[in-house]
Amino acid sequence: MSLFRVKYLSFFLILISVFSFLNIIYSYYFNLYLNLNTYYFSLFSSLIIGLLFYKIKEVNRKPSIFEKILTVFLGYIYRLYCHYLFTLVFIT
- Residues 48-68: tens digit of each pLDDT: 988 888 887 766 778 788 878
Q: Residues 19, 51: one domain? A: yes
Angle, in degrees to the nearest 10, between helices 36-55 and 3-29: 160
- Residues 5-30: tens digit of each pLDDT: 677 777 888 888 888 899 889 888 88
Q: Residues 40, 56: one domain? A: yes
Q: Residues 3, 36: one domain? A: yes
Nearest CA among 51, 38, 50 for reference residue 82: 38
Mean pLDDT, rounded, of the chain: 78
Q: Residues 2, 45: one domain? A: yes
pTM across the whole model: 0.60
Q: Residues 77, 54: one domain? A: no
Give the structural domain span for 79.
Answer: 61-92
